[in-house]
Amino acid sequence: MKNKFPMNRREFLYTTGALTAAFSPFPRLLAESTPSTARPLDATTLAKFVDTLPIPEVLKPKDFRPSPQDPSVKVPYYHVAMHPAEAKLHRDLKPTRFWGFNSALPGPTIEAGSGQGAIVEWANELPSSHMFSVDNNLEGAEADKPSVRAVVHLHGARVPAESDGYPEHWFVPGKSSVCFYPNNQDAATLWYHDHAMGINRLNVYAGLFGLFLIRDTVEDGLGLPSGKFEIPLVLCDRLFDQDGQFIYPVSPDPKKLWVPEVFGDAVLVNGKISPYCEVEPRPYRLRILNASNGRFFHLAFSNQLEFQQIGSDQGLLAAPVTMKMLTLAPGERADVIVDFSRYSGEKIELKSDHLTPLQFRVAAIPYAIATRAIPKTLRTIVRTTESEASKTRELLLEETVDAADNPTLMLLNRTRWMAPVTEKPTLGSTEIWSLVNGTEDSHPIHLHLVRFQVLDRQNFYVMNYLRKRELKFTGPPVPPEANEMGWKDTVRAEPGMVTRIIVRFDGYVGRYVWHCHILEHEDNEMMRPFDVIAAR
Ligand code: C2O
Ligand code: CU
Ligand code: CU
C-alpha cells in the first residue's frame, strides 16, 4: 500500500497539464473582491523560505462560566469572531484579503484538558457579500439563501449534536452561536472550521479554520518535546492572482460554477507561503494538519530524514512508527517527532511532491542537546474486533460525469443530502462501514462524533458492483498501514477498493454528518446525515 496512490487522479492531470485544454484552473474571475483583470500568479516563481514560520496564538478565555453539564463547575468561555482581514502571506506579495477567526489565518489555537469542558461563542462578523462566487445550483446554496453564512464544526470532537455545527445550522453576519465542548476524549489534534451547507469549500478557502488541542495526563507523562519545541504546522494550498489575492477557480460554464477540485501552487504553513523555521539540534514535536480543500500532502524531508509518527487524527498511536514519507489527506492530522540532533548547521526542507512547503534551519551548535528519548510505547489501544459489530453497512462512493467526463455530482450510496436519513446506528453499538469506492479518486471519508479503527482495504470488481451491486473481490484484504492502526476520524477510501472501518457510536444521540473531506465533493452531495438513536 505504501505510496501506491501518491496523487489523486485529477491532481495528477492538473500537474501534468493534461487537463488545461479542457479545464483551465483560471477560466474566469467573478468574485466581487477580485478585479476581473486579475491575472493568476505563478507562485512557483516566489522566493522560497524568506518569511519566518508564524505560530498561531493560543487563545485566552474571556471569562469563566457555569458548565451546561454541571453548573457547579466553571469552564472557560471563549469568544471568537469570524472577521475579514488582510495579511502579508509572503515578503514579496501585497497583503491578501481573507476571512479569519479573530482576523487570523489560521485562527487562534484553543487548548483544553481532556474532560475539561469549554464554551465557545462563535460570532459571524463577516461582510454581507461573499469573497468568492457562490454556485446557486448546489444544495443549500440556492439564490434565496444569504450568500454569507457560517457555522463552526469542531472536527474530531465528541460533542452533543446541538454544538456539532450541523451544515444547515448556519447563521448570518451579526449573529453568533454558543457551543459547548465537553472534551471527554483522549488528547488529540482537533481543528475547527466552517461547515456551512453548499459554501463550505468557499468559507474554508477564505481562511476559516484553526487548531483545537486536547491534552491529557497520558500524553503529559511521556515527556514529549513541549513549549517552543512543539510546533503546530497547519498546511493548505492556495492559488493567487498577481495582486496577491486568493483565486477560487470556477468552471467555464457560467451557469455551473462548481469545480470538482482545487489545487493551489502555493502552500501556506501557518499562514505564510513556504516559510522557514529556526530550530535547535534536538527533537521536535510537529502537530500537522492538512487544511487544504483537495490536496493530499506526501511529506518527506529533503535529506530523507526519518521521523516518527506518534499520533494520528484521534490521538496517540500505541507506539511510534518510523517513516520517511507521510501521506495526509484533507482533514487528516499527524503528530510527529523529528530529531534534528545530527544536523547542526544544516538546512532541511519539508517537501510534498514537487512543492516545498517549509524549510528548517538547524542552529549550528556543535554538541548534542540532552533530551529525553521518545518512549517505545505511547498509549494502550485495544483493537475492536469484528465480532463486536452488530451491523455492517455497504456504502458506495460514486461520482457522475457529463459527456466530456467532467464530474457533475458526488454521491454517497446514490443518495442526495435531502433524502431521508438511512444510517441510524444505536447509541453504544458497534458497526462496520464498508466504504465501496467506485470512483478513480481517493476520498477522505470523515464521520462526526465518533472515532474509529481501520480494518482493511480490498480491491473489488468495480463495474460489476456498479451494475449489480454485488461485491466481488479481486485481491486479498490489505491491512491498514502502521500509522493507521490508532484511532482515526478521517480515512482514505482508495479508488477501486473497499475500505472497512469499525465504529462504536459512543457519546450522544442526535443528528450528525459523514462526508468526503475534499470540500468540493462535500459541497456537491458527498455528505449525508446520520442519526444516533437511543438504545431501548
Ligand atoms: Cu472537518 Cu465535517 O468536517
Ligand atoms: Cu468533523
Ligand atoms: Cu471525495
**With the C-alpha atoms ordered 469, 470, 474, 480, is the resulting torsion angle positive or negative?**
positive
- 448 C-alpha to center of ligand 1: Å? 7
- How many A from CA of 73 to the centre of ligand 3? 42
Specify the ligand 1 atom closest to the Cα of 527: 2
- Report the atom number in ligand 1 closest to the C-alpha of 195: 2
Measured in Å, residue 234 CA sits from the centre of ligand 2 at: 16
From the alpha carbon of 514, which atom of ligand 1 is closest? 2
Number of helices and strands in the chain (H, E): 5, 31
What spacing in Å lies between the alpha carbon of 154 and ligand 2's midpoint?
6
Atom index in ligand 1 nearest the CA of residue 448 equals: 2
| Residues 306, 337: Cα–Cα separation, whole Å | 10
- Ligand number with the minimum distance to the CA of 192: 1
CA angle 450, 268, 167 (to 5 degrees): 35
Sign, Cα dihedral of 500, 200, 157, 213: positive
Q: Exposed/middle/buried for 444, CB within 10 Å: 0-12, 13-18, 19+? A: buried
| Residues near ligand 3 ion, CB 5 Å cutoff | 443, 516, 518, 521
pLDDT at 366: 79
| 271 in Cβ contact with 331 (< 8 Å) | no
Q: Cβ atoms within 10 A of the Cβ of 481, count? A: 16
| C-alpha span between 488 and 517 (Å, rounded) | 14
DSSP assignment of 117-162: -EEEEEEE---SS-SS---TTSTT--TTS-S--B-EEEET----GG
Distance from residue 536's CA to the centre of ligand 2 (Å): 27
Q: Which residues form the pocket of ligand 1, taking CB atoms under 6 Å from any ligand atom?
A: 153, 155, 193, 195, 331, 446, 448, 513, 515, 517
pLDDT at 368: 74
Taking the CA of residue 515 as reference, the ligand 1 atom at the shortest distance is: 2
Phi and psi at 188, nearest 5°, equal -165, 165
3-state DSSP call for residue 16? Answer: helix
Task: Return the ligand number nearest the Cα of 513.
Answer: 1
- Ligand 1: atom nearest CA of 193 is 1
Ligand nearest to the CA of 155: 2
CA-based max dimension of the chain: 66
Which atom of ligand 1 lies nearest, measured to the CA of 331? 1
- The answer to whether residues 189 and 287 touch, using CB atoms and an 8 Å cutoff, is yes
Neighbours of 57 (CB within 10 A): 12
Instruction: For residue 46, report the distance from its CA to the centre of ligand 1, in Å.
Output: 32
513/501 Cα distance (integer angstroms): 16
pLDDT string in tens for the chain (536-residue length): 333 444 555 565 544 444 433 344 443 333 333 444 579 999 999 999 999 999 999 999 999 999 999 999 999 999 999 999 999 999 999 999 999 999 999 999 999 999 999 999 999 999 999 999 999 999 999 999 999 999 999 999 999 999 999 999 999 999 999 999 999 999 999 999 999 999 999 999 999 999 999 999 999 999 999 999 999 999 999 999 999 999 999 999 999 999 999 999 999 999 999 999 999 999 999 999 999 999 999 999 999 999 999 999 999 999 999 999 999 999 999 999 999 999 999 999 999 999 999 999 999 997 878 888 999 999 999 999 999 999 999 999 999 988 888 889 999 999 999 999 999 999 999 999 999 999 999 999 999 999 999 999 999 999 999 999 999 999 999 999 999 999 999 999 999 999 999 999 999 999 999 999 999 999 999 999 999 999 98
Residues 30 and 147: their CA atoms lie apart, in Å, by: 14
Distance 179 CA to ligand 1 centre (A): 16
> Nearest-CA neighbor of 191 among 152, 227, 149, 225?
152
H-helix segments, 165-258: 200-206, 217-220
pTM over 0.85: yes
> Which ligand 1 atom is at minimum distance from the Cα of 513?
2
How far does residue 69's CA lie from ligand 2's centre (Å)?
22
Q: Which residues contact 83 (CB under 8 A, 6 or more apart)?
A: 99, 100, 101, 102, 103, 125, 126
Q: Say how many Å lie between the CA of residue 79 and the centre of ligand 1.
A: 21
Q: Which atom of ligand 1 sits closest to the CA of residue 191?
A: 1
| CA-closest residue to ligand 1 atom 1 | 155
Residues sharing a CB contact under 8 Å with residue 274, sequence separation 6 or more, in sequence order: 46, 48, 49, 90, 266, 267, 356, 357, 358, 359
* Residue 285: closest CA among 333, 239, 230, 228: 230
Q: Please say whether the dihedral angle defined by the alpha carbons of residues 244, 110, 194 and 515, taken in this order, is positive or negative.
A: positive
Give residue 36's pLDDT: 43
Give the ligand with the smallest distance to the CA of 167.
1
The alpha carbon of 452 and the centre of ligand 1 are apart by a number of angstroms equal to 15
Q: Cell numbers for 520, please give them.
A: 468540493
DSSP string computed for 173-189: TT-EEEEEE---S-SEE
> Ligand 1: which atom is nearest the Cα of residue 490?
1
Q: Facing residues of 315 across strands?
A: 312
* CA–CA dist 88, 97 (Å, integer): 9
Nearest CA to ligand 1 atom 3: 155
The values of phi and psi at residue 335, to 5°, are -110, 120
Q: Helical H runs in 469-531?
A: 519-523
The SS3 assignment for 22 reads coil
Task: Give first-to-last CA distance, the chain, whole Å.
Answer: 42
Q: State how far the Cα of 219 lies from the Cα of 380, in Å rounded to an integer.
A: 12
Q: How far, in Å, is the centroid of ligand 3 from the Cα of 514?
A: 12
CA 95 to chain centre: 25
- Residue 406 is predicted with a pLDDT of 86
Question: What does the alpha-carbon distance between residue 480 and residue 470 come to, in Å, rounded to a whole number?
Answer: 24
Ligand 2 centroid to 421 CA: how many Å? 18
